[in-house]
Each structure stands twice: as structure tokens, then as C-alpha cells.
Amino acid sequence: MTPPDLIDSRLDIAGRVATLTLNRDDVRNELTGTLLSAEIAAVVDWINRDEGISALVITGAGAAFSSGGNVKHMRDRALPGNEGASFSGDAYTVQNRYRHGIQRMALALHRLEVPSIAAVNGPAFGAGCDLACMCDVRIAAESARIGETFVTLGIIPGDGGGWFLQRVVGYQRAAELTFSGRVLTAAEALAIGLVLEVVPNEALLLRAHAMAQGFAAQPPQALRLAKRLLKAGQGPAPLAEHLDLCALMQGLCHNTADHAEAVAAFLERRPGAFSGR
């Protein structure tokens, strides 16, 4: 399928891996005054429809991963254009702009059907931190800095960060980070499990792409079903219902050509050649 047309970001395809680069270094890849959150949502919807993609890497162009919201726009209570969450207007107007703006990104990434990797190349503050937490895996460059900084500006994570962050680091640590707004170094983020790995700056994309390619080398249908199971496991459904879902999806997997190919490849000690069928 044809990828979406993008303005503030860049999409590169290599095999079954898509890389989305936030390409507004002029504003440190902010998410509220640009088209970035809408374009992330558009890319997710395209990937979910295109079975030729099996992994997504998200990174930032320039020095920052994403600075989140624009503080000058908060000061002026204004925002150019109508993308993102406008800071002007009454309470109803602002909440509605969040719902139809940056929150579309959160909902989209939560429904993404393939593994996602945030390659955190620099500062990831506020909504930028939350964007990283919306991905399945986070790899940070040594120069990265990450912070749930909303409270320091007298606001809260309006993009869903209170839901995502605690699922990454646990409630107690998420509470400390949210209540303090403190910024972590990459090493500190690694120590609390906020990121999976820290690598030298120049190796960040190489490592993220290597991991993504490893994911994408797996049978495509089983990979997407495994992602759906992990997401389902985060919900309130009791174990018995989750096991029913596992049984159903396992029945689907056992009847695919890729399952037969994966078994044959394992027994013959060779790489699998998967068709997505």
C-alpha cells in the first residue's frame, strides 16, 4: 500500500522495517505545534493495513528526540494552526483539542500491530518522554535525557503519560518521576528499566535497526498476533479469558504456512523463508 504523505516527518523503508524520523529539529521535534502527532497516527494506520511491514522505529532528527510541548506557546496561550493541543480557549475547548490532537497519537501507537522501537537520540521531555513510553522498546543514546516534566510547568500528562509510564517502570517509580518532574540521564533511565539499552550516540540507529530487523525476520502473522496478546495482557481480563484468547490465536498460527516453514527451518538448521501466509 502507498505510505502516507508526510510534511514534518520522514518515512524510510528497508525490507520489512519502517523508520519514522521526526523531522522538525527547528523546534526540537515538538509534538503540539507541528504535524508530528497526526503524522505518527497516519503512519500507524498505514502499517496496520500493510502486511509488508513488521517493525517500526521512531527517532528524532537533530539534537532532540522530542521536547514535547512548546513552552512559548503555553506562555502566549496560543498555537499556530490547528494541530496538536492548543493552549488557548476555555477548559472545554482545550480538552477537546487534546482529544482530537495529541491523544490521537497515543491511541494510534497503542493499537499498532507490529513491534515499535523508540531510538531516543537526545532529550525526550514531557510528551516526548511519553512518546518513547508508547513504544514497545526504548533504546537510548548516551546523550539522551528523559523526563516526565509536566508538573514543573503546572500541568499534567495530557497525552496519556500517566497510563503509559507506570506500565514501563511500575507505579512507585512513575509516581516519583511524575511528582518531581526530574530529568534522567540515559544511564539513570537504564537503571530503572525506562530504557532497555544505552549505546554510543553513533551506534543508536544501527542498534535500533538491528533489533527491528531481528523482529521483522520472524513469521509476520505470528509476530502481529504476539503483539496483540501482549497488549491484551495489560488489560483487566482474568487469566482464563486471556488463555482462551491464546488458544484461539494459537489455532490460527498452527494453520499457517509460515508455521510449517518455521518448523522445517528449525529442524533443517536454516533461516526461515516466510510469506506472511
Render pLDDT for 131-140 as a digit per residue (tens, 0 to 9): 999 999 999 9
Stronger pLDDT, 87 or 4, i.e. the higher one:
4
Concatenated DSSP letters of 211-274: HHHHHHTS-HHHHHHHHHHHHHTTSS--HHHHHHHHHHHHHHHHTSHHHHHHHHHHHTTS----
Annotation: CATH topology of 9-216? 2-enoyl-CoA Hydratase; Chain A, domain 1 (3.90.226)
Q: In the prediction, which pLDDT does 267 show?
A: 95
Handedness of CA 180, 186, 192, 197 (dihedral sign): positive
Q: In the prediction, which pLDDT does 84 show?
A: 40
Q: In the prediction, which pLDDT does 82 show?
A: 43
Residue 142, pLDDT > 80, answer yes
Give mean pLDDT, residues 167-189. Answer: 98
Q: In the prediction, which pLDDT does 246 show?
A: 96
The pLDDT tens digits of the residues spanning 207-258 come to 999 999 999 999 999 999 999 999 999 989 999 999 999 999 999 999 999 9
The pLDDT tens digits of the residues spanning 57-115 come to 999 999 999 999 877 777 776 554 544 445 667 888 888 888 988 999 999 999 999 99
Total Cβ atoms within 10 A of residue 105 = 24
Query: What percent of the chain has a predicted confidence (pLDDT) above 90?
Result: 86
The pLDDT tens digits of the residues spanning 21-65 come to 999 999 999 998 899 999 999 999 999 999 999 999 999 999 999
Q: What is the mean pLDDT of the chain?
A: 93
- Alpha-carbon distance values, 147 to 131, 136, 181, 182, 189 (Å): 11, 18, 6, 6, 9
